[in-house]
Amino acid sequence: MKSRQEEPTELEWSLVANLEAVATLLRGSAARDLREESLTPGGVTILELAHGQSGATSSGLAQLLGISRQATSKAVQGLVAQGLLEARVHPGDARALRLTVTVAGKKALQRSRARRTSSVARLLEPLGPRDRALLAEMLERVRSAARVGPARMPDEAPAPPALEDAPA
């Protein structure tokens, strides 16, 4: 990319404009999908992380997310109040709370994942299977090179943990 003072090339500007447009579409779609579950983007991230980590704590999640403990605590309290997350005193540290996703939280995650996956599938309908695979590979390379925040962009993006305990 060019320095800040030089004009971007047509290709560079096309990449910027298209990536920003797709990001805006995805954020809007995700926000609508999450509202149907009465979730926020931060709330679903906390649920996903708590589900993927046995013995997750508020302070541990705050560190992973790169946000304050107070902000995490407020979000956790909201998820507990909704019945999506359970917080119990950590057996090894009475000051910490161990977070567990409830059955209702797992169901909400299942629905949220299905909606988000469906939204992305609709967005990518114009692409054939080969182009989708190529896009996935290229996005993985960009994401991996960026290494932005361990919770948002892990070094590897495996399939999310199964939600087998959440009956349909």
Q: Give 86-143 pLDDT, tens digit per residue.
A: 988 878 777 888 899 999 999 999 998 898 889 899 999 999 999 999 999 998 888 8
81: tokens are: 């109040």
Return the domain boundaries, the chain. Answer: 13-146
- Domain 13-146: state its class: mainly alpha
- Asked whether 133 and 140 are in contact (CB, 8 A), the reply is no
CB atoms within 10 A of CB 61: 22
127: tokens are: 């692409």
**What confidence category does residue 159 fall into, taking pLDDT thresholds of 50, 70 and 90?**
low
